[in-house]
Amino acid sequence: MPTRSKAAIAGWAVSAVFCVPAIAAPEASGAMPGDQAMTCEQLASELVPYMQQMQPNMQALATSQQKQYEQGRVKGEERKREHELLTPMATAGALDPTGIAKRAYQAAVIAQAAKEKREDEAEANSPLAKQANAQREQLAAQAKQMKDNARITRLMQLGEQKGCTRK
């Protein structure tokens, strides 16, 4: 093959290598014709179906977290009352010259701390906590799928460029 033909083929091959990514780029990047002209409202309306897919999982997690919050609030109130019951023992311990009241107070504080630790461990292993953790993992996996979706990424980038997220 003459040198001129080899050079032409090599040139064509090089240009093909550069053209293929350019042709594939819109699809791979999630870009579509007319994207640049989209308004914030149009971007948002195109993102709505994706967000609606996540909504049930977000709502379920929010419900579980609300239940956990409420249980924690109730438990905090109980613990506050229990700690307040120890106050007279602390006072007696400070005033008792024999040290007996102080040792009783210290034992009560240690027992209270152990009880709270057991309660915290039980709560962390409760069905509600396990359910919330599973819901978090499911939502994170769904969010990762969406993050890996080139179209969603493209729409989000356009929204950011256009200032759609600013008030």
58-73 residue pLDDT tens? 999 999 999 999 999 9
What is the SS3 assignment for 125? coil
Return the SS3 of 23. helix
Helical (H) or strand (E) element with 1: none
Q: Name 116's Cβ contacts closer than 8 Å, sequence gap at least 6.
A: 79
In this prediction, residue 166 carries a pLDDT of: 67
The pLDDT tens digits for 29-65 are 788 898 889 999 999 999 999 889 999 999 999 999 9
Matching residue, tokens 């396990």: 130
CB 112 within 8 A of CB 86: yes
| Whether pTM exceeds 0.85 | no
**Burial degree of 124 (CB within 10 A; 0-12, 13-18, 19+):** exposed
Q: What are the tokens at 56?
A: 């049930």
What average pLDDT score do residues 12-27 get? Answer: 34
Residue 112 CB neighbour total at 10 angstroms: 15
